[in-house]
Amino acid sequence: MLGLVSAKTTPNATPLHISFTQNDNHIPKNGNKTPSPLLKRTPSPSSKPKIKPSKKTLQEQRIDESSLDNPDLGPFLLKLAIDTVASGDNQNKALDYATRASISFEKSSGPGLDLAMSLQVEAAIYCSLGRLENAIPVLERSIETLDLKSGSDHAMAKFSGFMQLGDTYSMLGRVDRSISSYEYGLKIQIEALGDLDPRVAESCR
80: Cα separation from own chain's centroid: 10
pTM of whole model > 0.75? no
CA dist., res. 56 & res. 33, Å (int): 24
Contact 190, 200 (CB under 8 A): yes
Contacts of 16 (CB under 8 A, 6+ apart): 4, 5, 6
- Give the SS3 label for residue 194: coil
Contacts of 51 (CB under 8 A, 6+ apart): none
Per-residue pLDDT of the chain (205 residues; tens, 9 = 90+): 444 444 444 444 444 444 444 444 443 444 444 333 323 334 444 444 444 444 445 455 444 444 666 777 889 999 999 999 999 888 999 999 999 999 999 988 888 999 999 999 999 999 999 999 999 999 999 999 998 888 888 999 999 999 999 999 999 999 999 999 999 999 998 888 777 767 776 776 6
